[in-house]
């Protein structure tokens, strides 16, 4: 018997979080995707219908806070607290009071720090019963993105924790500005896949399925999610002329463990890391080889909040080393490694 839960993700609704700065093209993007037939059986959560400009999209039915669009996409406004809305929707979906949907897309307000929402989805018992965090997508505007990254630490954080980055308005920004911003984003978040989006034209698939869990049981997704190599082979450029004061605080690194881990010891260490440095851990992702387990263990956390460790069906490939990716603010790899050595040798 294993200590850990098997991945039950296929029975939970995967939630993609879409963050991005004011004017970065989220609304244009949502407008475009909402009408796309590939958005059938998706639920989109927004703060207000008005902001998204649904007027021209043909609506079949309205029940106060919920609309069914012609594309088969369900649109719902957040009523009060997000967790209350999510619980209401889960209840209505279970009793067939909503049009059917298999996945959810949650749009946050422009200036939001994504951490509280990620924490809610990772480890809130009422929520994680019905939902699981799939991934984080951030839109960045090629015209104004550099200035926003300079002025707002939240913008930097949104970009740093994203699984996928969507650069909008590259058609307006000019090649030079776009190239600079791309280099800056790659420096800030080497693990994220970066796509250019012009006038909201995007395959809706890019907004979903960036997490480690694949209901079909295919295991290549966990590699893309972790993207350990990107964080591992990444040395910050020394020509810091285009790194702002905020960017300089953000770093990422991957720790690799060759031998299977003793879970008790590893877990004690991780608890100590969270206790000491939780506010500096923007995101932690890991695929672990735990002694006594045949399957890989996935861990995922934001600050001090971690999802309960979950076993995946298969290792993605023959590499059985444990890999742990840290995205941090003002926390160096050396300090984290040192704490592991002290715990390991204790």
DSSP-assigned states of every residue in 214-255:
-TT--SHHHHHHH-HHHHHS----S-GGG--TTGGGEEEEEE
Cβ within 8 Å of residue 174, ≥6 positions away: none
* Gyration radius of the chain's alpha carbons: 20
What's the pLDDT score for residue 211?
Answer: 87
Question: By the 8 A CB rule, do 188 and 247 touch?
Answer: yes
Asked whether 97 and 64 are in contact (CB, 8 A), the reply is no
Taking the C-alpha atoms of residue 181 and residue 126, their distance in angstroms, rounded to an integer, is 39
pLDDT at residue number 236: 53
pLDDT attached to residue 188: 92
pLDDT score, position 259? 95
The β-bridge partners of 198 are 201
Contacts of 84 (CB under 8 A, 6+ apart): none
What domains sit in the chain, N to C, each tagged with a CATH number?
A: 5-207 (3.40.50.300), 232-345 (3.30.1220.10)
Helix (H) or strand (E) holding 197: strand 193-197
Number of other CB atoms surrounding residue 205 within 10 Å:
9
Alpha carbon distance, N-terminus to C-terminus of the chain: 29
Q: How far is CA 63 from CA 13, 17, 91, in A?
A: 21, 24, 15
* Mean pLDDT value across the chain: 86
- Residues with pLDDT less than 50, the chain: 238-239
Is the CB of residue 122 less than 8 Å from the CB of residue 128?
yes
Find out whether 253 and 236 touch, Cβ atoms under 8 Å. no
User: Is the full-model pTM beyond 0.85?
Assistant: yes
pLDDT at 307: 92
Cα–Cα distance for residue pair 57/217, rounded to 1 Å: 35
Other residues' Cβ atoms within 10 Å of the Cβ of residue 314: 12
Say how many residues make up the chain: 346
């Amino acid at each position: 018997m294993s200590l850990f839960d098997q991945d039950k993700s296929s029975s939970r609704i995967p939630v993609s979080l879409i963050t991005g700065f004011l004017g970065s093209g989220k609304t244009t993007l949502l407008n475009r995707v909402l009408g796309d037939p590939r958005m059938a059986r998706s639920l989109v959560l927004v703060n207000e219908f008005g902001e998204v400009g649904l007027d021209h999209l043909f609506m079949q039915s309205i029940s106060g806070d919920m609309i069914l669009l012609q594309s088969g996409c369900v649109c719902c406004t957040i009523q009060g607290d997000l967790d209350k809305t999510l619980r209401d929707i889960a209840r209505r979906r279970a009793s067939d009071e909503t049009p059917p949907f298999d996945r959810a897309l949650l749009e946050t307000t422009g200036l939001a720090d994504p951490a509280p929402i990620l924490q809610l989805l990772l480890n809130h018992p009422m929520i994680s019963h019905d939902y699981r965090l799939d991934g984080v997508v951030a839109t960045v505007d090629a015209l104004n993105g550099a200035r926003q990254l300079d002025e707002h630490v939240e913008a930097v954080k949104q970009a740093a924790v994203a699984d996928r980055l969507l650069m909008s308005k590259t058609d307006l920004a000019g090649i030079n500005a776009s190239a600079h911003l791309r280099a800056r984003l790659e420096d800030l978040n080497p693990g994220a896949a970066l796509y250019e989006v012009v006038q909201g034209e995007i395959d809706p698939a890019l907004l979903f399925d960036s997490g480690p869990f694949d209901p079909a049981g295919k295991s290549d997704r966990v590699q893309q999610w972790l993207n350990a190599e990107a964080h591992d082979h990444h040395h910050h450029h020394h020509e810091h002329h285009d790194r702002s004061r905020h960017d300089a605080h953000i770093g990422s690194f991957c720790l690799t463990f060759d031998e299977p881990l003793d879970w008790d010891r590893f877990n004690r260490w991780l608890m100590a890391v969270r206790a000491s440095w939780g506010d500096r851990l923007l995101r932690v992702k890991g695929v672990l080889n735990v002694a006594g387990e045949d399957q890989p263990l996935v861990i995922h956390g934001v600050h001090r909040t971690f999802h309960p460790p979950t076993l995946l069906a298969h290792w993605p490939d023959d590499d059985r080393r444990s890999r742990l990716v840290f995205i941090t603010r003002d926390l160096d790899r050396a300090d984290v490694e040192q704490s592991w050595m002290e715990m390991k040798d204790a």
